[in-house]
Structure 1
Amino acid sequence: MKLLYWLDEWLTLSDNEKQAKLPTSSGDLLGDVYVKYHFVDLNKPLLFTFSPAGTDVQERDLNEDFAPWGYHLAQKQNVNIIAFQHLGKSNWFRNRNLIFFIEQLSTLLSPFETKLGYGLSRGGFAVGAFAKLLKLDKVLLFHPVSTKNKLIAPWDDRSSTDIAQQYDWQGDYHDLDLGDAEGYIIYDPTNRIDRLHAKRYKQLTHLRVFGMGHGTHTTYLNKFGFYKQVAVDFIANQQIDIAQFRLQTKTLRLKEDYYKKLNKANANSPHRQALLSTAHTILIDEKAAHVQEHQEKIDIQPLIDVAIKHQDENPNDAIKLLEVAQQLAPDDPLVEHKLRQLE
C-alpha cells in the first residue's frame, strides 16, 4: 500500500517540505479495486472519485498508463485526485481490503483543507457510503444508489440488487453516511427507483433532470458533454451555478436528438421506453412555451429595415429576409404587409 506509507512519511515534513515533494503519483491494487493518486498542490482541493457501473476493467488491463474513471478530469482541472476503479462487472466497493485501506487513508489527509467527492450510480453509492469517514466537504452525485440492503431499500427491485447480494450489506459502510458533507444530487424524477434513492439524501440540494434516466443513458449524455460540464463547474468552484445548470438541462432536453438517442439506447427495455415517453410528453408543452418565449424576445426590426433598404435592387433577397422574419414572428402585421407588396 504505497500511498499509505508515502503519506505517513510525508506528514512528518514541514508545509514547505510537503509542497516541495509534489507533484507525485502512483497506484495500488487493493484486492478487486485499483486506486491511483496524483497530488499536485497542497492548496488545491483533493477529489475522490469512484467508478460507475459499465467500466468493466480487469486486472490484466492495468498498467502504468491506466487511468481510473475521473482521473484525467481531475488532472485537467489541476486538482489533487484519489481515484478508485472497481475491477469486474459486479463490484460494489465492499472488499475488506479496500475498506481497511480507506479507514487508514482517512487518518492521513489532514494537510488537504478541501475534500470533494464525485460519483455516478455505483460510484455515487461509494462516495455517499465513505463520505463521513473521508471527511468530505462537498459531493456531486448523479443518480446514485444509496444502498443495496434489501431491508433498507425493499423497493429497489433492479436485477443488480439480486446480484449485489453476494456482498455484505449489514457491515460497515453499507449505507449512505454523508457526515457534514454538503453538495448536489442529480437524478431523473420519472425513474421511480432513482427518485426513492434520491429522497434518502436529504441534506443535499436536489437537481432534477427529466429524461436523464439511469445506466446506459450515461453514454449518450456524455456525447452531449453533460456530465463533464457539471463536474468541471463543481470541481472549480465547489458549487454549481443552479441557474446555469437549469438553462443547460433545458437546452439539452429540448433537443429532439437527445430523445432519439436515448430511445435507441433503450430499445430493448419497455420500462425505460415508458419512462422516456413520460418525460418527453411532459416536456412537449415546455418546449412550445420555450420557443414562444424566445420568439417574443427576438427583435426582427433589423431584418425588416435591411429588406426595405434593398427591396428595389434585390427584391428576391428582400423577400427571403422577410420570410425569415415571418418565421421568427408569425403574427407581425408589418412583415405580412411588406411580403404582400413584394410578391
Structure 2
Amino acid sequence: MLKLNIEVKEIIDNVVMQYHIFDTSQPLMITFPPVCQSIKNKDVSITAPVWSFDFFAKRKLNIIAFNHIGEGNYFDSIAFISLLDKLRQEIAIFPTKIGYGSSLGAFALSLHADRLLLDKALLMMPQSTYCKKTASWDPIVVNAADSKNSDMTVLDSSTCKTPLTIIYDPLSLADKLHVDRYEQTATRLKIFGVGHRIPRTLQHLDMLSEVILQFRIGTIDNDYFYHGLKERRKLSYYYRDAYKKPTVSYTNHRIIIIYWHKTKQRLIHFKFEPAKILDRLLCSIKKRIS
C-alpha cells in the first residue's frame, strides 16, 4: 500500500521509486527520467537523487518518481511491471493521474501509461522505440545498449492510447520520425531549431516549470508557450545547426539573419582556449586519417 504524508524510497529490481503523497484529493504526477539521469548502481541508489522528485515534493504536489539503475534498462523487468500492475489499483483513488517523461523517460511513460490508466501524459522529445531495426535512422537508438530483459522488437510505445501532449523539434529528423510513429493524434507543441534539447531549452528560457505546472492542472497555454519561445534567439545552440538549411522554406534573407545571430553569439561567448582548440584539431585529423 502507498504510505501517506511521508517520503518513501524503494528499490524494485533495477528501478528506484521515490514518492510522497500529500493529498489524495489532488492530482498525482508519475515521472520517468531521460537516459542521462541513470543511477550508476544499486550501491548509490538509496542516496542518489531521483529525477523530478524534488521539483514536485517541494511544492507539496503528489509525486511518484521512477529512476533507472544502470545501462540497458528500459523499465521492462518482470518485477517492475508487476509493481505497476499493483500500483494501478492503488492510484485509482486520485482524481487525475498525469505522466511526465523526457527522451528515454518519455518512451517508458508511453510504454506504461495505458497499464497505469493515466488520464494524460506529457512527453518531451520521446523515443517511440529502441529497436535498432525499427529506428535505424536514430543515432541514439543505434548506439543504445539492448535491454537485459526483453526483445527490443516488443518494446514499442507508439501504440499508446493515453492522451498525449508531445513537445519536440520537427527539424530534428530522428525526433520527428519518432513522433510520427505514434498512432494516436497527439497534441503537438513544436520548438524549431534546438534539436534534442527540449527540457534544456525550456529551462534556459525560464519556461520549464510553468509548462509542467500548466499541464498538471489543465493544458499548456499556446500563447504563453510560443511567445516565450521567441527568446530562444538568445541561446547559442539555437544557431548551431540552423545554417544547414533543414527545410527548403529558408529564404536567403532568413539565412543571412541566422548567420548574423550565430556570429554575434560566438563573439559574445568567445573564449580563447588553446588546449580545447588543439584537442578538436587532433580529433579532426584522426577522423580524416581513418
Same fold (TM over 0.5): yes
Q: Secondary structure at the match of 1:34?
A: strand
Q: Deviations over 1:227-251 (max 9, x none)?
A: 333112212x231001111111122
2:90 to 105, 108, 113: 108
Is the 8 Å Cα contact of residues 17 and 65 (structure 2) preserved in structure 1? yes
Is the 8 Å Cα contact of residues 51 and 84 (structure 1) preserved in structure 2? yes
Does residue 161 of structure 1 match 2:152?
A: no
Q: CA deviation at 1:89?
A: 4.0
1:182 is matched with which residue? 163
CA distance in 1 between counterparts of 2:113 and 2:256 reads 38
Q: Deviations over 1:3-49 (max 9, x none)?
A: xxx24xxxxxxxxxxxxx73122111112110011100011111100
CA distance in 2 between counterparts of 1:228 and 1:287 reads 34
Coordinate RMSD, CA, aligned: 2.9
2:50 to 52, 64, 68: 68
CA distance in 1 between counterparts of 2:23 and 2:250 reads 46
Amino-acid identity (%): 29
Equivalent residues in 2 for 1:1-343, closer than 5 Å = 6-7=1-2, 22-58=4-40, 59-63=42-46, 66-151=48-133, 153-167=134-148, 168-169=150-151, 174-179=156-161, 181-201=162-182, 202-214=184-196, 218-219=199-200, 221-235=202-216, 237-251=217-231, 253-255=232-234, 258=235, 260-261=236-237, 273-274=240-241, 277-278=244-245, 282=250, 285=254
TM-score, with length taken from structure 2: 0.76
Unpaired segments of 5 or more residues in structure 2? 258-290
CA distance in 2 between counterparts of 1:279 and 1:91 reads 33
Which is greater in Rg? 1
TM-score, with length taken from structure 1: 0.65
Structure scoring higher RCO (CA < 8 A, sep ≥ 6) equals 2
Q: CA deviation at 1:128?
A: 0.4
CA distance in 1 between counterparts of 2:39 and 2:143 reads 21
Q: How many residues align?
A: 252
Unpaired segments of 5 or more residues in structure 1? 1-5, 8-20, 264-272, 289-343
Is the 8 Å Cα contact of residues 73 and 147 (structure 2) preserved in structure 1? no
CA distance in 2 between counterparts of 1:207 and 1:26 reads 34
CA distance in 1 between counterparts of 2:83 and 2:95 reads 21
Q: CA deviation at 1:225?
A: 2.9
Q: CA deviation at 1:101?
A: 1.3
Is the 8 Å Cα contact of residues 138 and 238 (structure 1) preserved in structure 2? no
Letter in structure 2 aligned against 1:190: L
